[in-house]
Amino acid sequence: MEFESLEELDTFITNYERINCVQLWKKTAKTIEKSKAVCPKKLASCNEDLKYYSLMYACKIGGRAFKSNGRGIRHTSTYKDNYPMMLKLALNNDGSRLKIVEKIENHNHPVNRELFESMPKQRTYLLLK
């Protein structure tokens, strides 16, 4: 899966969240600007509107969100270490697009299935099944 613009990527993320009943946040991001110092040749002719050399989205619930809610939920090392859901993107070889290079779809918490199944599209699918 590749994206020619940040708008395209945004749309994909929004749809992904809706379809999978998850909320994503940008966990890490490396800009083209900064990466130019490391690989100027590769980035000389890239599409700078893409802004990112690489970036990673993670599930809000499985990640940092636990830490910051301040209601005393324990943040055990298990949560950090079992590789929860993430989407990793990087510039493709000619620098014209952002490409999904890695995808993990495990969640270390229950996903809201009720909401998912109440969506019209999914209900049709279930009926057909």
Residues in contact with Zn ion by CB under 5 A are 59, 61-62, 85, 107
Beta strands in 12-120 (DSSP E): 24-31, 52-59, 86-91, 98-104
Task: Report the residue number, 46 or 61, with the smaller CB distance to Zn ion.
Answer: 61
Shortest Å, Cβ 17 to Zn ion: 11
**CA atoms of 88 and 96, how far apart (whole Å):** 17
With contact defined as beta carbons under 8 Å apart, do 54 and 90 qualify? yes
Question: Is 108 exposed, middle or buried, given 0-12, 13-18 or 19+ CB atoms closer than 10 A?
Answer: middle
DSSP state of 26: E
With contact defined as beta carbons under 8 Å apart, do 46 and 39 qualify? no
Shortest Å, Cβ 52 to Zn ion: 22
Task: Report the residue number, 56 or 85, with the smaller CB distance to Zn ion.
Answer: 85
Shortest Å, Cβ 71 to Zn ion: 18
Task: Report the residue number, 112 or 124, with the smaller CB distance to Zn ion.
Answer: 112
Task: Report the residue number, 85 or 89, with the smaller CB distance to Zn ion.
Answer: 85
Indicate the residue whose CB is closest to Zn ion: 59
DSSP state of 12: H
Shortest Å, Cβ 127 to Zn ion: 27
